[in-house]
Amino acid sequence: MTPSRFTLTLFALLTAALPAQEDPADVTPERARANFARPIELAPDDVRAFPEPPPGYRELPATGLRGTLELFEYDSNITGTTRSAHVYLPPGYPTDQTYPVTYILHGIGGDHHEWTGYVKGHVILDNLIAAGDAVPMIAVFPNGRAMADDSIPDNPFNPTAAAAFAAFEYDLIYHLIPAIEDHYAARRDAPHRALVGLSMGGGQTLNFGLAHLDIFPWIGAFSSAPNTKAPADLVPDPAATREQLKLLYLSCGNQDGLINVSQRVHRYLQENGVPHIWNIDDHGHDGDTWGSNLYHFAQRVFR
Q: Average the pLDDT over 157-186 and give the result.
A: 95
Residue 20 pLDDT > 60, yes or no? no
Residues paired with residue 279 on neighbouring β-strands, in sequence order: 251
- 287 vs 154 pLDDT, higher one: 287
Question: What is the rounded average pLDDT of the residues 141-169?
Answer: 92
Q: Which of 45, 116, 24 is nearest to 259 (CA)?
A: 45
Residue 35: pLDDT band with limits 50, 70, 90:
low
- Residue 193 β-bridge partners: 101
- CATH number of the domain enclosing 235: 3.40.50.1820
What average pLDDT score do residues 59-74 get? 96
The answer to whether residue 303 sits within a structural domain is no
- Residue 153 resides in a domain: yes
Note whether 35 and 255 are within 8 A (CB): no
The range of the structural domain enclosing residue 242 comes to 3-298
Q: Residue 7 pLDDT more than 70?
A: no
List all residues 6 or more positions away from 124 whose beta carbon is below 8 Å from its beta carbon: 57, 58, 291, 294, 295, 298
Phi first, then psi: give them for residue 16, nearest 5 degrees: -60, -25
Q: Is residue 280 part of a domain?
A: yes
For residues 20-46, average pLDDT: 62
Residue 279 lies in a domain: yes
> How many independent structural domains does the chain possess?
1
In this structure, which amino acid lies at residue 256? D
Average pLDDT, whole number, for the chain?
89
For residue 187, pLDDT beyond 70: yes
Asked if residue 146 belongs to a domain, the reply is yes
pLDDT of residue 21: 29
* pLDDT, tens digit, 9 for 90 and up, residues 103-133: 999 999 999 999 999 999 999 999 999 999 9
Q: Phi and psi dihedrals of 181, rounded to 5?
A: -70, -25
Q: What angle do CA 78, 73, 75 make, to 5 degrees?
A: 30
Q: Is residue 283 part of a domain?
A: yes
Confidence of residue 232 (pLDDT cuts 50, 70, 90): very high
Give dist(CA 1, CA 167) in Å, integer: 10
Query: What pTM was estimated for this model as a whole?
Result: 0.89
Residue 214 domain-assigned?
A: yes
